[in-house]
């Protein structure tokens, strides 16, 4: 039996209080979630230790506390009627504690799987989803037992790696041993390097009733381990590939008992086969374009999964190219800080600029994104290339 939270309802304990949706984390994904919740008439609450977090600045309530602070968790539970997370590294234990008091989606147990590459790979395999050949390295014995067939490979920390952090390319055994030492001899996953053709991602939303809806296949370009460009429809995609990727994502979500928005990143190999790379238990950077290109955004669906509202299938109404805007754009060639010329960019047809309200720019920091929509995929790409040239982003 599912619980439905409607914005016009009143909480039983306090008939004068409108329903509030809470989010753990105050970054840009939390900010976009807050906006989507407010559009449907919900109040919002954010728990984040940063007094000037992007989401905290726009929410109705900001609980400024560390993620495992018991008083902070109690304050969020007292304020919010249902709670979600905006980043995968929020402590799973915090979500478990909150779930004893309020509905939490996704669950702490599901998030815990996403936080550990070894557990994540095991879950993919258990769902029958292809993955790269790999080995878990936890100690000297498992390091010595690594098969030569896995080299050259990529060594990744099992926990706390994202945006290219916590991973090293290793060509041979000597490099593997040195790389493991460089990563602190923590538990790692070694993945065999495969002949990669391109990368895609799929975003699905799963309700408490098991219904799953999906966005169209997204083709992604990463630079230095950070997402740079997303294109939809996927230029190299096919209907068969899209169906396979969505089917894999739906199985992964179902086997987790997942409730919420889930992103699965896939590698497409030169022979056309698909292997799962990793998953994110939340809306994803590659899906930010949905705010402008679809009739329902990934954040709209996140709100609906939390509130038990109907999950309508989202529709892509405009082909799109999304450019990730990193802090590098706020510095000129000499390293002096500047503000990009947004006026020139916004003069382009179909340009939708989203800045995240961060107080300072740093190289590699995600400061915003630019979505270009067009009547055709070719038109969207042409305009996106013009925008990239204006901003100093390398062509793609």
Q: What is the pLDDT of residue 166?
A: 85
Q: What is the pLDDT of residue 10?
A: 44
Residue 287 is assigned to a ligand binding site: no
Please check the confidence at residue 395 and state whether its pLDDT lies above 90.
yes
Residue 191 is assigned to a ligand binding site: yes
d(CA 89, CA 111): 8
Residue 219 is assigned to a ligand binding site: no
Residue 194 is assigned to a ligand binding site: yes
Q: What is the pLDDT of residue 85?
A: 97
Residue 121 is assigned to a ligand binding site: no
Residue 193 is assigned to a ligand binding site: yes
Residue 153 is assigned to a ligand binding site: no
d(CA 81, CA 18): 10
Mean pLDDT of 330-336: 92
Q: What is the pLDDT of residue 161?
A: 67
Q: What is the pLDDT of residue 281?
A: 97
Q: What is the pLDDT of residue 7?
A: 56
Mean pLDDT of 122-139: 97
| Beta-strand runs (E) in 317-365 | 320-326, 351-355
Residue 93 is assigned to a ligand binding site: no
Asked if 182 and 194 touch (Cβ cutoff 8 Å), the reply is no
Residue 223's pLDDT band, with cuts at 50, 70 and 90, is very high
Of the candidate ranges 58-62, 116-120, 157-161, 187-191, the one whose mean pLDDT is the lowest = 157-161
Mean pLDDT of 334-349: 96
Residue 218 is assigned to a ligand binding site: no
Mean pLDDT of 170-199: 96
Q: What is the pLDDT of residue 370?
A: 98
Neighbours of 276 (CB within 10 A): 24
Mean pLDDT of 50-75: 97
Q: Which token pair is 142?
A: 């498992």
d(CA 135, CA 83): 35
Angle in degrees, 0-180, between the axes of helices 92-99 and 70-79, rounded to the nearest 10: 50
Q: Is 164 exposed, middle or buried (0-12, 13-18, 19+ CB in 10 A)?
A: middle
Q: What is the pLDDT of residue 160?
A: 77
Q: What is the pLDDT of residue 18?
A: 72
The rounded percent of the chain whose pLDDT value lies above 70 is 95
Residue 327 is assigned to a ligand binding site: no
Please check the confidence at residue 93 and state whether its pLDDT lies above 70.
yes
Q: What is the mean pLDDT of the chain?
A: 94
| Nearby residues of 360 by Cβ (< 8 Å), 6 or more positions away | none
Residue 67 is assigned to a ligand binding site: no
Greater model confidence, 37 or 7: 37
Mean pLDDT of 106-134: 97
What predicted TM-score, i.e. pTM, was given to this entire model? 0.93
Please check the confidence at residue 246 and state whether its pLDDT lies above 60.
yes
Please check the confidence at residue 170 and state whether its pLDDT lies above 90.
yes
Q: What is the pLDDT of residue 165?
A: 74
Q: For the chain, list the domains and their CATH numbers.
A: 10-104 (3.40.50.20), 133-192 (3.30.1490.20), 196-391 (3.30.470.20)
Please check the confidence at residue 16 and state whether its pLDDT lies above 70.
no
CA distances to 41, 136, 395 from 372, rounded to whole Å, are: 28, 41, 15
């Amino acid at each position: 039996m599912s619980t439905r939270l409607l914005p016009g309802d009143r909480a039983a304990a306090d008939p004068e209080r409108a329903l509030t949706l809470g989010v753990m984390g105050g970054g840009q994904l939390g900010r976009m979630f807050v906006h989507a919740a407010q559009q449907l008439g919900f109040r919002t609450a954010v728990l984040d230790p940063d007094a000037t977090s992007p989401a905290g600045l726009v929410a109705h309530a900001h609980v400024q506390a560390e993620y495992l602070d018991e008083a902070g968790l109690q304050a969020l539970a007292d304020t919010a009627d249902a709670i979600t997370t905006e980043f995968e590294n929020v402590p799973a234990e915090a979500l478990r504690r909150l779930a004893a008091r309020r509905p939490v989606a996704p669950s702490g147990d599901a998030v815990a799987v996403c936080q550990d590459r070894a557990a994540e790979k095991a879950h993919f395999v258990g769902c029958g989803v292809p993955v790269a050949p790999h080995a878990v390295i936890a100690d000297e014995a498992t390091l010595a037992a690594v098969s030569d067939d896995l080299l050259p490979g990529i060594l990744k920390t099992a926990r706390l790696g994202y945006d290219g952090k916590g991973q090293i390319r290793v060509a041979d055994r000597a490099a593997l041993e040195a790389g493991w030492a460089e990563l602190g001899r923590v538990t790692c996953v070694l993945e065999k390097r495969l002949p990669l053709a391109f990368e895609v991602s799929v975003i699905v939303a799963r309700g408490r009733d098991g219904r799953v809806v999906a966005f169209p296949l997204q083709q992604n370009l990463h630079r230095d381990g950070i997402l740079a460009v997303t294109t939809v429809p996927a230029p190299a995609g096919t209907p068969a590939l899209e169906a396979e990727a969505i089917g894999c994502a739906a199985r992964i979500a179902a086997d987790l008992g997942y409730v919420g928005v889930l992103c699965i990143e896939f590698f497409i190999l030169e022979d056309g086969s698909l292997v799962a790379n990793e998953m994110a238990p939340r809306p994803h950077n590659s899906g930010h374009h949905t705010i402008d290109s679809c009739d329902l955004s990934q954040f709209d669906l996140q709100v609906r999964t939390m509130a038990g509202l109907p999950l309508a299938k989202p529709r892509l109404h405009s082909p799109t190219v999304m450019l990730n805007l990193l802090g590098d754009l706020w510095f000129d060639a000499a390293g002096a800080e500047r503000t990009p010329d947004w006026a020139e960019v916004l003069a382009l047809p179909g340009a939708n600029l989203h800045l995240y309200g961060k107080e300072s720019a740093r190289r590699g920091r995600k400061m915003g994104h630019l979505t270009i929509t067009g009547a055709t995929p070719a038109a969207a790409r042409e305009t996106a290339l013009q925008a990239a040239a204006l901003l100093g982003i390398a062509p793609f």
